[in-house]
Amino acid sequence: MNPIIVFFIFFIVGLFIGIFIWKIYRIRNEREKQAQKEQLENEIVSSLLELKKHTTLDVSTELDTGYGELSNKYDLIEIALENEVVSITIANDEGLPVISTLKDPCEESAEYSALFQSISKSSKNKPSKISIEYDEKHYLYIKPVVKNDIKLFIIIRSNIELDPTSERKLIREILNVLDEYFPLNS
């Protein structure tokens, strides 16, 4: 056989073997990265659950004050993750944060509740909600709600525009979480 043909055959076989080994290496690295990501997510969830246990009221205090026992899950963060929103903040009429997925929601809750109130005062038609798009990729939704005669503002930040159906579902889920924080007075 001609040595040039043998060289090309070995070259092509070597090239295919090299590509095959490279593909296997990439797949293995992707699986390792995915496993590390899942492990990190599990650690975050378990840390949040542990934090929730330490930050909720003592069960005896809850029963004395009439508040039922809270669940062992991080409800608002779960809602945010399920609906692919960046943050959810609930503020009262004075702009003070009630609950939030943010670490420090004070500035945001005060700013956006004041924004809604000023728009509501200056407008003839009282808005039922405000939707703001900024930076062409970020959306802000402010929705006032009344829970047990307490006026609250739901402030939602999102990287995607919420369609009306998703927005209503998200508001319903948030209101269900608010039932735990503001139980009906008997």
Per residue in 75-131, pLDDT (tens digit) is 788 888 888 888 899 998 888 888 888 888 888 888 888 888 888 888 888 888 888
- pLDDT given for residue 45 in this prediction: 75
Q: Which residue has the higher pLDDT, 106 or 180?
A: 106
Overall pTM surpassing 0.85 (yes/no): no
Average pLDDT over residues 46-66: 52
Greater pLDDT, 11 or 69: 11
How is the beta sheet containing 150-158 ordered, strand by strand? 97-100, 85-92, 150-158, 138-147, 130-134
Q: What is the mean pLDDT of the chain?
A: 81
Encoding tokens for residue 79?
A: 């809602």
Q: What secondary structure does DSSP assign to 113-143, as a single string?
A: HHHHHHHHHH-SSPPS-EEEEETTTEEEEEE
Predicted pLDDT at 57: 44
Q: How many CB atoms lie within 10 A of CB 74?
A: 18
pLDDT score at 58: 45
110 phi/psi in degrees, rounded to 5? -65, -45
Q: How far apart are CA 64 and CA 84, in angstroms?
A: 37
